[in-house]
Amino acid sequence: MTAFFIGDVALDEYYTADRWPGRADKGMVKELPAEIGGSIANAAVMHATLGGATQFISLLNDSPLSERLTDDLRQNGVGVDHMLIDPALAESRNLIFLIDGEHVVLTVEMGEQPMWLAPETLTALRCPGFLYTTLYRVRRLHSRTETGVLKQADLLANLREHGRHAIFDLDVGGCTPEDMPYLAGAAVVIFNQVGFRAAFGHDDMSRIGGWIRENGIGWVVRTMAADGAEAFDGETHLRMAGYSVAVVDVTGAGDTFGGALTWCLTQEHSFAEALDFSIAAASRSVTSHGPRGGKADAETVLAWRQEKRSSGK
């Protein structure tokens, strides 16, 4: 079963600073080595490293940087058979500032051009499995079929009818009522604490059971940094603690979590076990620098989790 990841891949340019400057302010930064990242690409790499069959789709220009980004995915075991090219696009880059154990990410705007999926890509997506993506990307999906153009929420619904289950990474952005045609029927919707509050106006997971049932969503997950994560399907409420670790870089922790969760679900693990494994993978990831600091096989994550449990940390 191949999992598809549709989203961003980019060159992450790192800087550190003592503080984030205010309006009309100035500040000094220190440059660190750049690394290849991109939220959904990071999740795809984690999924592939755990042993999952993985395909990644993004829309890039035809520059040497884009070739470098694509080659890096291949080297990490991620399939790029369905990548899309538009020479007019800007370079895919993120500017990441590490400040007081947190990070500020600035992304180069690349526009909202439609992403036209080839017929063979649509065929591949119309197979049972998971699709890990974002609202920003699914709003842009189009494909020509024998009966016309299939696009956006209708395309997503068509994939769901063919057994392709969506996992949405909503991160800090949350969602609005206008987004529900896309989220309806999703297998999993992942928020962090900021995104959950933006979507619902509160922090109480137990209050969204009606929203879950009304929209036919399988599970809602809220990641809570060092405090672990919780999940709710409208009836069962799971909450798993995090791990005490020395934080080096939180960049990519949520991506590690999402890629690990997707892999666990493809392995048909219970959702409780998937949540626990993914928290361990994400907690381990923040102990290393870089957007893919969490990249590891399943044995490594399990051994790390066992060591932390044995030490009581």
Confirm whether 123 is domain-assigned.
yes
Residue 265, in any domain of the structure: yes
Does residue 2 sit within a domain?
no
> Rounded distance, CA 201 to CA 252, Å?
26
Q: Which pLDDT score is estimated for 235?
A: 96
Here the tokens at position 300 are 């490594």
Domain presence at residue 264:
yes
Q: Check which CATH number belongs to the domain holding 161 and give it.
A: 3.40.1190.20
**Structural domain contains residue 106:** no
Look up the domain containing 134 and give its range. 42-58+113-311
- What the block records as the tokens of 195 is 């995104």
C-alpha 214/C-alpha 191 separation (Å) is 18
Is 221 within the bounds of a domain?
A: yes
Q: What is the tally of structural domains in the chain? A: 1
185 is a domain residue: yes
User: pLDDT tens across 245-281, in order?
Assistant: 988 888 889 999 999 999 999 999 999 999 999 999 9
Q: Establish if 100 belongs to a structural domain.
A: no
Residues, the chain: 313
Closest C-alpha to 243, from 275, 297, 279 = 279
Average pLDDT on 175-199 reads 97
Share of the chain above pLDDT 90, in %: 81
Q: What does the DSSP assignment read for 8-50?
A: --EEEEEEE-SS---TT-----EE---EEE-HHHHHHHHHHHT
CA distance 263 to 298: 10
For the stretch 158-183, pLDDT in tens is 999 999 999 999 989 999 999 999 99
| Mean pLDDT calculated for residue range 139-153 | 94
First to last CA, the chain: 36
- Range name among 69-78, 95-104, 277-286 with the lowest pLDDT average: 95-104
